[in-house]
Amino acid sequence: MSVTPEDIEKVALLARLSISESALPEVTERFSKVLDLVDELNTINTDGVVPMSNPHDMTQRLRADTVTSHNTREALMASAPAQDSGYFLVPKVID
Amino acid sequence: MNWEIVMGLEVHLQLATQSKIFSGSATQFGAEPNCQADPVDLGMPGMLPVLNEEAVRHAVTFGLGIGAKIGERSVFDRKNYFYPDLPKGYQVSQFFAPIVCEGVFDVAMPDGSLLPIRITRAHLEEDAGKSVHDIFPRETGIDLNRAGTPLLEIVTEPDFRTAEQAVAYLKALHSLVTYLGISDGNMAEGSMRCDINISLRERGTDALGTRTEIKNVNSFRFVERAIHVECERQADILDSGGRIIQETRLYDAEQNVTRSMRSKEVANDYRYFPEPDLLPIEIDADYIEAVRATLPELPGAKRNRFVSDYGLSEYDATLLVPNHAMASFFEAVVDHCHAAKPAANWILGDLSGALNRADIAIEHSPLSAQQLAGLISRIEDGTLSSKLAKQVFDAMWEGLGDADEIIESRGLKQVSDAGALETMVAEVIAANPDQVAQYVAADEAKRKKLSGFFVGQIMKASQGQANPQLLNQLLLEKLDAQS
C-alpha cells in the first residue's frame, strides 16, 4: 500500500473533507490503488516528451484591458446566505 | 553569539490595469464593497477566466527592465487553500513555469554603491478579496472588489544581510516600476506589499538557519522595524538554546512585535497543479522586441546622465531620480533656465519643503517648472539676491504670479548698479567714523568681522536689495583705502 491512513487524514483536512473513522481503511485502499496506477505510468520512458499542461494544442488568447462588467452587486448577493451593508458575511475568522 | 541575518523578499506588486486579470471588472481603488466583483471574481460555477493582455505586457516589461529572461512558454497553476476571501478555493498563480525567470537587479545604495540582488522569478497571479474583521461584531465581512486584481509577485534569492539593504531594494524597485509605468506604486493603497523571509546564522558559516516569513508589510518604515524586531526575537531564542519554528508571522506596528499566524500553519501545503481553464502563454521574440522598444530611460541610466550631462553630484542625482515626476520636473526647469545645479538645489530644498508641508506631490505642484525656471534665471542674471529670491518664491507659491511680475510689483530688484552702491558705501562710512577707526586699527582677522557691521548698515539702507557680492567688493576697497 503506497499511502497510510495518516496521509489520508492530512489530505482530507487540506481538502476540507470529513472522512469517518470507519470509512478510513476503505478510502486508504482505494486511494492507494489510484496512486499505484500512477506509479505504473511512471515506469514508462518519457525522455524527450515535453510536459503537457493542457490537452488542447493551443496557446492562450488574450483579452483587451477594458472594463466590460458593471456593478451587479444586488443580483449577485441575492443568493448569499448572509450579507450586510454590501458585505458577504461569514462566521468570524480570527488570525 | 554573533548572528548574521539572511533575508529574501517577495513583493506583491499590483499592476496598473483598468480591468482585472481574468475578468472585465474594474480595478479602481476605494469603490463601495462588492461593486467591482463579477461572477468570474466570485467563482460562480461555469465561469471561465480570460487573460488580460495588459497584465502580460506589464510582466514582460518588468522582466526586460531588470534584464531577466522571459519565459517563452509560461503556465498558470492553481494554488489550493481555503479562506473566505478566496471564493474559488484556489488562487490562480504561476508555480512551475513563471513568465519572468532569473535576473539581477542592481540596487543603488545610499552611499552610491551598487548592490546586485538576484531575482529568482516574477510571476503573474490574481489577488484575493479583503476580509473585514472590525465592522461586524459576530461575523467577518467579505469584500471581493480586490479579488482578481492582477499582481506580479517578485521573488529574490536570500541576498539581503541588513534591513538597510532590504529597504534600499524596495525603494529602488518602487522607483523602477513607476518608471516602467506598470504600477502606480501606491503603498498606502496596497499596490506594493512585501513578505520577508528571515533567518539567522552564525557569522562565518554558510548553512541557512530555520526561517520565518513576515507577511504583508506595506511601508518602507515598517519593513525596517519588522526586520529589527524579528531578528531580535530570533536571536533571543537562539542565544538561550531554543529552536526557531518555521512559520508565518504578522508584524503588529502598534506594539512593534511580530506574531505567529497560527491559522496558516496547517495549510502550508498548496498542492499546485496546472490550471485547466487557461492555456499556456507563448511569448515570442517579436513580442519581446516590441515591448523592449517601449522601455523608457530607467533610473540607473538617468542618474548617470544627470551626473555626466548636467554636472550634478552623485548625491543630488540620487535624490532627484527615484521619483520619476521629480526627475521630469527637474529636466523641465533646466530646459527653461539652463542652470542645473541651482535647479536641483531649489527643487530638493525650498520646493520639496513647501510640497511636503502642504502634502502635495510634485506632479501637482502649484508652482510650475517654468515658473521656477523664471525665478532661477533672475538669480543667475543678478536681478535677485538669494534672500530676495526666497521672498519671490514664497509669493509665487502663494499664486501671486511669475517671478518677473512679483519683482516688478514689489520693487524687489537687487541693486547691482556700482554707482548707486558706491554712494551708499560712502554714506555709511561717513556716518560711522568710530567704526571706521576701529577697522583701520584692527588686524586682518578682526577686519573681516568688523566689516560685517558696514554690510549690515548698507543692507538696511537698501532694504535688502544690495547685491551682496558687489557690495562686499566695493566696501572693502573703500575701507582699505581709509587706512
The minimum CA-CA distance between A85 and chain B, rounded to whole Å, is 8
Query: B186 and B146: one domain?
Result: yes
Amino acid at B233: R
* Whole-number pLDDT of residue B475: 85
Query: B214 and B344: one domain?
Result: no
Amino acid at B41: D
Mark which residues 43-62 of A lie under 8 Å from B by CB.
53-54, 56, 58-62
pLDDT at B360 over 60: yes
Query: B258 and B339: one domain?
Result: no
pLDDT at B436 over 60: yes
The answer to the question of residue B95 being in a domain is yes
* pLDDT tens, residue by residue, A17-51: 999 999 999 999 999 999 999 999 999 999 998 88
The answer to the question of residue A36 being in a domain is yes
Query: B78 and B202: one domain?
Result: yes
How many domains does chain B contain in total? Answer: 3
Query: B229 and B318: one domain?
Result: no
Backbone angles phi, psi at B113, to 5 degrees: -80, 165
The answer to the question of residue A86 being in a domain is no
Pick among A17, A53, A93 to test the B interface (most B CBs inside 10 A): A53
Could you give the CA distance from residue B291 to residue B296 in angstroms, rounded to a whole number? 11
* Whole-number pLDDT of residue A93: 83
* Whole-number pLDDT of residue B160: 97
Nearest beta carbon to residue A65 from set B19, B250, B261: B19
Helix (H) or strand (E) holding B311: none
* Whole-number pLDDT of residue B242: 92
* Whole-number pLDDT of residue A1: 54
Grid cell in block for residue A85: 451593508
Could you give the CA distance from residue A71 to residue A86 in angstroms, rounded to a whole number? 12
The answer to the question of residue B359 being in a domain is yes
Provide the percentage of residues in chain B whose pLDDT is more than 90.
72
Collapsing DSSP to helix, strand or coil, B366 comes out as coil
Could you give the CA distance from residue B305 to residue B302 in angstroms, rounded to a whole number? 5
Q: Which residue range is the domain that position A20 belongs to?
A: 5-41
Bridge pairing between strands A62-63 and B51-52: parallel
A38 in reach of chain B (CB within 8 A): no
A73 in reach of chain B (CB within 8 A): yes
The answer to the question of residue A37 being in a domain is yes
Q: What is the mean pLDDT of chain B?
A: 92
Whether residue A77 and residue B144 make contact (CB cut-off 8 A), yes or no, is no
Grid cell in block for residue B280: 499556456
Grid cell in block for residue B353: 519643503
**For residue A66, which residues of chain B lie inside 8 Å, CB to CB?**
18-19, 24
Query: B459 and B362: one domain?
Result: no
The answer to the question of residue A10 being in a domain is yes
Query: B23 and B168: one domain?
Result: yes
Query: B452 and B321: one domain?
Result: no
Tell me the torsion sign for CA atoms A89, A90, A92, A94.
negative
Write the secondary structure of B208-223 as one string of H (helix), E (strand) and C (coil).
Answer: CCCCEEEEEECCHHHH
Bridge pairing between strands B139-143 and A87-91: antiparallel
pLDDT at B444 over 60: yes
Could you give the CA distance from residue B161 to residue B4 in angstroms, rounded to a whole number? 7
Does residue B85 contact residue B144 with C-beta atoms inside 8 Å? Answer: yes
A78 in reach of chain B (CB within 8 A): no
* Whole-number pLDDT of residue B451: 83
Pick among A11, A16, A72, A87 to test the B interface (most B CBs inside 10 A): A87
Question: For chain A, how big is the Rg over CA atoms in Å?
Answer: 23
Could you give the CA distance from residue B19 to residue B36 in angstroms, rounded to a whole number? 10
How many domains does chain A contain in total? Answer: 1
How many CB atoms neighbour CB B172 within 10 A? 21
- Among chain B residues, the shortest Cα distance to A89 is held by B141
The answer to the question of residue B306 being in a domain is no
Does residue B258 contact residue B229 with C-beta atoms inside 8 Å? Answer: yes
- Among chain A residues, the shortest Cα distance to B276 is held by A54
Grid cell in block for residue B463: 532694504
Grid cell in block for residue B313: 553630484
* B77: β partners: B93, B274
pTM over 0.95: no
Helix (H) or strand (E) holding B115: strand B114-126
Grid cell in block for residue A30: 482505494
Query: B171 and B251: one domain?
Result: yes
* pLDDT tens, residue by residue, B450-478: 888 888 888 887 777 788 788 888 888 88
Bridge pairing between strands B114-126 and B150-156: antiparallel
**Which stretches of B266-323 are DSSP H helices?**
285-292, 299-310, 314-320
The answer to the question of residue A75 being in a domain is no
The answer to the question of residue B304 being in a domain is no
The answer to the question of residue B301 being in a domain is no
The answer to the question of residue B322 being in a domain is yes
Nearest to B156 by CA among B116, B191, B193: B116
Kindly list the distances between the CA atom of residue A33 and the CA atoms of A27, A42, B246, in Å, as whole numbers in the listed order.
Answer: 10, 14, 34
A88 in reach of chain B (CB within 8 A): yes
Whether residue A63 and residue B52 make contact (CB cut-off 8 A), yes or no, is yes
A41 in reach of chain B (CB within 8 A): no
Classify A73 in phi/psi space as left (phi over 0), alpha (psi -120 to 50) or beta.
Answer: alpha
Which of the four pLDDT bands, split at 50, 70 and 90, describes residue B430? Answer: confident
Backbone angles phi, psi at B156, to 5 degrees: -105, 165
Q: Which residue range is the domain that position B374 belongs to?
A: 311-410
Bridge pairing between strands B212-217 and B248-252: parallel
Which residue is associated with the grid cell 523571509? B197
Could you give the CA distance from residue A31 to residue B104 in angstroms, rounded to a whole number? 44
The answer to the question of residue B300 being in a domain is no
* Whole-number pLDDT of residue B125: 98
Pick among A6, A63, A74, A84 to test the B interface (most B CBs inside 10 A): A63
Which of the four pLDDT bands, split at 50, 70 and 90, describes residue B267? Answer: low
* Whole-number pLDDT of residue B109: 87
* pLDDT tens, residue by residue, B17-74: 999 999 999 999 999 999 999 999 999 999 999 999 999 999 999 999 999 999 999 9
Domain boundary among B410, B428, B456: B410
CATH number at B455 reads 1.10.10.410
Nearest beta carbon to residue B138 from set A56, A69, A92: A92
- Among chain B residues, the shortest Cα distance to A14 is held by B267
Query: B222 and B100: one domain?
Result: yes
Query: B40 and B102: one domain?
Result: yes
CATH number at A19 reads 1.10.20
Whether residue A14 and residue B267 make contact (CB cut-off 8 A), yes or no, is yes
Could you give the CA distance from residue B75 to residue B21 in angstroms, rounded to a whole number? 14
Classify B48 in phi/psi space as left (phi over 0), alpha (psi -120 to 50) or beta.
Answer: beta
A81 in reach of chain B (CB within 8 A): no
A80 in reach of chain B (CB within 8 A): no
**For residue B17, which residues of chain A lie inside 8 Å, CB to CB?**
65
**For residue B37, which residues of chain A lie inside 8 Å, CB to CB?**
73, 76
* pLDDT tens, residue by residue, B166-196: 999 999 999 999 999 999 988 888 999 999 9
* pLDDT tens, residue by residue, A43-89: 999 999 888 888 888 899 999 999 999 999 999 999 899 999 999 99
* pLDDT tens, residue by residue, B99-141: 999 999 999 888 878 899 999 999 999 999 999 999 999 999 9
Which of the four pLDDT bands, split at 50, 70 and 90, describes residue B417? Answer: confident
The answer to the question of residue B127 being in a domain is yes
A14 in reach of chain B (CB within 8 A): yes
pLDDT at B266 over 60: no
**For residue B51, which residues of chain A lie inside 8 Å, CB to CB?**
60-63
The answer to the question of residue A90 being in a domain is no
Whether residue A54 and residue B142 make contact (CB cut-off 8 A), yes or no, is no
Number of continuous H segments (helices) and E segments (strands) in chain B: 16, 16
B47 in reach of chain A (CB within 8 A): no
Domain boundary among B356, B377, B410: B410
The minimum CA-CA distance between B158 and chain A, rounded to whole Å, is 27
Query: B128 and B216: one domain?
Result: yes
The answer to the question of residue A84 being in a domain is no
